Structure 1
Amino acid sequence: MTRATGIGSFPGEDARAYAEAVRFVLGELPPPTGLPHVPELPGRGATATMTGRAVAVATDLGFDLQPAGWRVTDAEGVDQRRARSLLAQDLDELEEQSQGYEGPFKLQVAGPWTLAATVERPRGDLALADPGLRRELAEALAEGVRRHVADLRRRLPGVVEWVVQLDEPALPSVLAGAIPTASGFGRHRSVEPPEASAAVATVVDAVRASGADPWVHCCAADAPLALLRGAGARGLAVDLSLVGPEGHDQLAEALEAGESVVLGVPAGDEGRVVEQVSRWLDMLGLQPTDGLVLSPPCGLAGTSPTAARQALTELSSAAARL
C-alpha cells in the first residue's frame, strides 16, 4: 500500500506551534496510508534547525554556537545543552500526545556530510576540511542515533516499525567540491565516493543496529542514489523533479528490491499528484507497491501552517487513491 509522510520540518516559532504540529501529524498521517514523524520547527532558532538537532543528538563531541554558526569544541557548550533540552521538551510533547498509538513512526537527523558541511572545526573553517574530524562526526552521530532511537522506543512503546531518515542535502556539493570555504574565495576539496559512502554507512549501520530502517533524504539535484544504496540505505527520499535518467533507474531498482522510495511531489491538487505519480510508474513499467511513499519535495518550514497542513492532507489522500 502506498503511504504518505512529511520530510520533517513545519512552520512555527513556539511550543504551542510544536504541539499543533504533533497533533496534526498524528491525526492526518495515520496508518496504514500514513507514516507519522517527529516534527521539526527550525523557525524557533539555531537550536531547532537541522544542524541544531544533530548537535543535540550527537554524543562524545562538544559544540558551541558562534555568530557564524555551530562550532566543534573541547567541551559541551551552553547552546548545545539548550539544543538537547529543547529536543527533550519536544519528545515529552510527542510522548504525551502519542499515548495509545500503534503503528510505524519516522524520525529525522542530519547525515554526517551535511553535518560536516554546516559546523566549523575548532580552529576555523568547516569540519569538512579535516578528514579526522569528519570521521569523528560520523561516529558521534552514529552513537547518538542509537541512543535517540532507544529513547523514542521507551517513549512510544506501541510503535511497530521505526524509520530513521538521514537528511543529506549537502552531499552532492560535498562530492562535487562545491562547498565554499569560510573566506568565500575558495571551495573545499571534493570527497571521494568511497569515503563518502563509508561515513554514511557508519550511521546507517547504527540505525540498523537499533532495529530501525535507514532512509536517506537528498532533495538536491544529482543525488548520489547508487552511493547511498551501496552504503546500506533501505529507503531513498528525493525531489522527483530533480531526478535524472540514472536516478529513475536507481529508484526503480530499489522498489523492485523491496526497498522504500519516497517521491517528493508538490501538492496543490490531489488529482494531479495521482496523475504525476502514475505517469512515473508507467514510465518505469511499475505498479504501486508497499515501498512507495509520497511526500512534499522538501521540508515545509517555509510555508504557512495552512499550506503545510493542506499539502500533507492532499498527499495522504493521493496515497490512498494510489
Structure 2
Amino acid sequence: MLASGVGSMPGGAVGEEAQNARAYAEATRVVLGELDLPHVPELPGRGAVAGLVGRTMGLITELGADLQPAGWRLTDASGVDQRRARSLLAQDLDTVEEQAQQVEGWFKTQLCGPWTLAASVERPRGDRVLADVGARRDLAQALAVAVADHVADLRRRVPGAAGLLVQVDEPALPAVLAAQVPTASGFGRHRTVHPPEASEALEWVLSAVSDAGATPVVHCCAADVPVDLLTGAGAVGISVDVGVLAPQAYEGVAGVLESGGWAMLGVVPSLDPPSWDDRAGVAALERFLDMLGLAPSEHTVVTPACGLAGASGTWARTALASCATAAHADDRT
C-alpha cells in the first residue's frame, strides 16, 4: 500500500506573496517528506485564484474567465484573475519541480472535474454553466485540452516519476445527478443531468488524461459516490471518504479493488481531532477492507478523509504521517 493526500493543505493568506511562497515551499516539503505517493499541494487559503476551481480555470486557455462577487464567470477574454491563477500555478509548479527531482515513484496532481466546474462557474449572463447544455459541453472539452497540456508540463517537471496520477475532483457530481444544485436565485434547483450525459463529459476529460500517458482517478468525498458511472467513464481508480461512504457504493469500491485499480481510501480525519492515535487509522482501514472481504493491493492508497485546508499545520503533517503508518502497518509484521 501507499500513502497520499487528497490535495489541499493549510497555509497562505490573501495578498501576502512572500508569506505564501514560503508556505507553499513548506507544504511541498511536507508532502514530499511524509508520503510515498506525493502530490502537487494546493493552498486555497491564498484566495479564490488558489482554490480548486480557480486553479483549474487558470489551466484552461480555450475559454476566458474572471472572478466576480458571486464567483468565477466565463467571459469573452481571459480576465486578470484568470491570468493571476495561471501565474500562481506556474510559480507553484516551479517550486514542485525544484523539490521533486528525487521523486522516482508515482506522483499525483489534482484538478476540478467538468461537473463540479459546471456547477460552480457562471455563464457570461449569469447563473451556472450547468443551466446551459452547450456551455457545459464547451467547458468540459476545454478542460480536456487543458488536462493534456498539464500532464505534459508535469512529466517534463518531474522526469523521474515512475507514473503520473491525475485526480479529477468531483465533489458536486452527486448533487448534479440528483438535481440538488441551486439556481442563482436560490429558490430553485437545476435540472438533473442524466448518467449518459454525465458519463460523456467525464469520458472526454479522463480519456485526455489517459491519452497523455497518465492514469485518471476521480475523487468524491460524498456518501453516494457513483462509482460505476466513474469507472464506466474511464476512471482507473477512485478516491473516497470511508467514514461517510454509503453501503450502496461498497460494491463499486470492491470492484475497483478486485480489478487492481487505484483505491484511495480516506481513513484519517481532515480536521484536527480532539485526540488521535495512529492505531485508529490502521483499525479503520482494516475494518473497511474486512467488510469488503478483500486484501489491499499495490494500488491501494491510504489518505485523509478529504482535503486538509481547514486543518492546522501541525495536524496536516500528523495526518499525512498517520496515513503512512496505516499504509505500511503490515510491513512491520
Q: TM-score band, normalised by the shorter chain? A: over 0.9
Does 2:27 correspond to 1:28?
A: no
State the alpha-carbon separation in 2 of the partners of residues 290 and 97 from structure 1: 25
Counterpart Cα distance in 1 of 2:224 and 2:294: 23
The equivalent residue for 2:55 is 53
Structure 1 residue 107: Cα displacement = 0.1
- Matched residue SS, 1:242: coil
Q: Distance in 2 between matches of 1:95 and 1:76?
A: 26
Q: By how many angstroms is 1:59 displaced? A: 2.5
Provide, for residues 257-300 of structure 1, a one-character-per-residue CA deviation record: whole Å limited to 9, x for no partner: 11011111125322121112112222222112112111011100
Q: Which amino acid aligns with 1:27?
A: G
For residues 179 and 139 of structure 1, what CA distance do their matches in structure 2 show? 22
Alignment of 1:141 onto 2:146: no
Indicate whether 1:186 and 2:201 are aligned.
no
Measured in 2, the distance between the counterparts of 1:244 and 1:68 equals: 32
8 A contact 2:112–2:169 mirrored in 1? yes
SS across alignment from 1:223: coil
What per-residue deviation string (whole Å, max 9, x for no partner) do you get for residues 207-260 of structure 1? 000111100000012111110011010011001122222211111111111101
Give the Cα–Cα distance (whole angstroms) in 2 for the partners of residues 242 and 100 of structure 1. Answer: 36
Measure, in 2, the Cα distance between the counterparts of 1:244 and 1:221.
5
Would you say 1:243 and 2:245 are equivalent positions?
Answer: yes
1:284 is aligned to 292
Corresponding residue for residue 93 of structure 1: 95
The residue identity in structure 2 corresponding to 1:226 is D
Distance in structure 2 (CA, Å) of the matches to 1:213 and 1:266: 24
Residue identity opposite 1:266 in structure 2: V
- Contact 2:104–2:161 (8 Å) recurs in 1: yes
Q: 1:83 — aligned with what?
A: 85
Quote the offset at 1:3 in angstroms. Answer: 0.8
Q: Check if 1:12 corresponds to 2:41.
A: no
Stretch moving more, 208-217 or 272-281 = 272-281
Please, which of 261, 271, 277 is the counterpart of residue 269 of structure 1? 277
Alignment length (residue pairs):
317
Matched, 1:307 2:315: yes
Question: Within 2, Cα distance between the matches of 1:101 and 1:4?
Answer: 14
Q: Work out the CA distance in 2 between the residues paired with 1:288 and 1:175.
A: 30
Residue 311 of structure 1 deviates from its aligned partner by: 0.3
Distance (whole Å) between structure 1 residues aligned to residue 296 and residue 104 of structure 2: 24
After TM superposition, the structure 1 stretch with the greater mean CA deviation from structure 2, 134-143 or 264-273, is: 264-273
- Name the SS of the counterpart of 2:328 in structure 1: helix
The one-character-per-residue Cα deviations of 1:133-173 (angstroms, maximum 9, x if unpaired) are 11111111110010011011111111111000000000000
User: Are the equivalent residues in 1 in contact too, given 2:224–2:248 (CA < 8 A)?
Assistant: no
Q: Distance in 2 between matches of 1:247 and 1:170?
A: 16
Q: Secondary structure at the match of 1:142?
A: helix
Distance apart, 1:205 and its partner CA? 0.2
Question: Equivalences for 1:208-223 in 2 at 5 Å?
Answer: 208-223=210-225
Tell which deviates more after alignment, 268-277 or 69-78.
Answer: 268-277
Question: Counterpart of 1:280 in structure 2: which amino acid?
Answer: F
| Structure 1 gap segments, 5+ residues each | none
Q: Which runs of 5+ in 2 are unaligned?
A: 13-19, 270-275
Among the aligned pairs, what percent are the same residue?
Answer: 61
**Selected match of 2:228 from 217, 226, 233:** 226
1:185 Cα deviation (Å)?
Answer: 0.7
TM-score, normalising length: structure 1:
0.97
Q: Which amino acid aligns with 1:275?
A: A
The range that moved more, 237-246 or 34-43, is: 237-246
Cα distance in 1, alignment partners of residues 99 and 302 from structure 2: 24
Indicate the SS of the match to 1:174.
helix
CA distance in structure 2 between the partners assigned to 1:89 and 1:81 by the alignment: 12
CA distance in 2, matches of 1:257, 1:74: 44
Alignment-mate amino acid for residue 21 of structure 1: A
Give the RMSD, CA atoms, in angstroms.
0.9
For the Cα contact (< 8 Å) 2:34–2:321, is it kept in 1?
A: yes
1:118 aligns with one of 113, 117, 120: 120
Distance 1:100 1:201 in 2: 33
Whether the 8 Å CA contact 2:242–2:288 is kept in 1: the answer is no
1:115 aligned partner, one-letter code: L
Instruction: Using structure 2 for the length normalisation, give the TM-score.
Output: 0.94
Mapped contact 2:308–2:316 kept (Cα < 8 A):
yes
Q: Counterpart of 1:71 in 2: which secondary structure?
A: strand
